[in-house]
Amino acid sequence: MEARLHDEAGVTVFGQASERLAQTSNFAIAGFRAETQVMAMDLAGIAVSSGAACSSGKVKRSIVLGAMGGEDALADSAIRISFGWDTAPTDFDAVAEAWIAAARRAVLRPA
């Protein structure tokens, strides 16, 4: 999923080169507001959150994403998704499809 989002949309995956939880992904593309992404994914039946887990419920920018090298515009566009024990490969595909479709409507040129 992360590779597809990077290849097709140029997203930045936070912590990609670090040891991290395998079931959680935090990514962003500058200019695609996190709030818009959360709404678009909700309409597609996919639950995501904005920012980093440690900033959940807060309105201000995540200092953690900044510390991980995220510029302000990128941190403002960050969303996070976690997968469970019963996640199937098709679930990763569905997330990528829904996110790319939303990004095309908002910030990317159509394929």
Looking at the annotation, which residues are catalytic?
Answer: 54
Q: Is residue 72 a contact partner of residue 89, using CB atoms and an 8 Å limit?
A: no
